[in-house]
A = this chain, B = another copy of it.
Amino acid sequence: MVSRNDNASRTKKRRSNAIAQERKAPDRRKQVTEAAARSFATFGYKGTTMDQVAKLAKVGKGTIYTFYANKEELFNEIMTGLIRDLREVAEETLDPSLPFADNLMNVLHRVLDYRDRHALAVKLSQEVRDIGTPEAKEGLETVERAIIGYIARHVKEAADKGEIRPCPPELTAYMMLKMYLALTAEGNHLHEPLGRDEVLRHFRVYCIEGLAVR
């Protein structure tokens, strides 16, 4: 449990002037983090060994532990990065002058393009399904909560502005995520995998406009 690396992950010191990072001086931390991201996305949490990460990062195993106290912390960093990336995509797509529904569709549109970004989530879902790795499960739930929280804030805002009907924001965000997953999940033999445009079109109908004729 305890180790000399209690504060390892918060290593801020990057001495040797930050600007002259130009050539050489391989950034160990980046190597490790990227190798880990690739490995987790390819082999899942269990399937990723620290030796594996070290080899992929072309780094001695001990080096990993100068940045991350243990495997779980390394995994957390990767998952946090996923959340950060998603939020970033959303943030730079959102246009406050547009209606909620348009923003929703635009963000969806962009997120759907990051198939590789999904690779991690897909692999982890499969891992949870097949062997139920607790760490993978918890990681995914953290991402879900983050996404739901993010959507919920915007739903509440839109509801307050009268752009959409009044509705419980959290539950609505939850339903949106579920619909998104139902439409995109390929591990489902109940319906064919849908193309990006179909996903968008159907999401609009089921979520925004409703089935009722008007």
Q: How far is B165's CA from A53's CA once the two chains are assembled, in angstroms? A: 52
Name the interface residues of A190-208: CB closer than 8 Å to any CB of B. 190-191, 202, 205-208
Which of chain B's residues has its CB closest to A214's CB? B214
Query: A179: which of B144, B164, B175, B202 is its contact (CB, 8 Å)?
Result: B175
Given contacts A145-B190, A174-B190, contact A211 B179 (CB under 8 A): no
- Chain B residue numbers with a CB within 8 Å of A73 are none
Number of copies: 2
Q: Is the CB of A210 within 8 A of B207?
A: yes
Chain A: how many interface residues by the 8 Å CB criterion?
Answer: 33
Report chain B residues within 8 Å CB of A183.
175
- A58 CB-CB contact with B under 8 Å: no
| A174 partner residues in chain B, CB cutoff 8 A | 182, 190-191
The interface residues of chain B lying within 8 Å CB-to-CB of A145 are 190
The verdict on A165 contacting B208 (CB below 8 Å), with A175-B179, A179-B175, A179-B178 known, is no
Asked whether A51 is an interface residue with its Cβ less than 8 Å from the other chain, the reply is no
**Assembled-state Cα–Cα distance A167/B210 (Å):** 11
Interface positions of A from 96 to 110, Cβ below 8 Å from B: 101
Q: Is A18 an interface residue (CB 8 A)?
A: no
Cβ of A77 under 8 Å from chain B: no
Alpha-carbon distance between A144 and B182 when the two chains are bound, in angstroms: 14
Bound-state Cα–Cα, A205 to B179, Å: 14
Which chain B residues lie closer than 8 Å to A163 at the CB level? 213
Chain B residues within 8 Å of A214, by CB: 214
Q: How far is the CB of A51 from chain B (nearest CB, A)?
A: 29
- B144 to A206, Cβ gap below 8 A? no
Q: A186 an interface residue at 8 Å Cβ cutoff? A: no
Q: Contacts A148-B190, A190-B144, A191-B170 given; indicate if A213 touches B175 (C-beta within 8 A).
A: no
- A-to-B contact residues, CB < 8 Å: 101, 141, 144-145, 148, 162-165, 167-168, 170-172, 174-175, 178-179, 182-183, 190-191, 202, 205-214
When A and B form their complex, which 9 residue pairs have the shortest distance between CB atoms, in order from nearest?
A: A210-B210, A164-B211, A178-B182, A209-B210, A208-B212, A175-B206, A174-B191, A208-B210, A209-B212
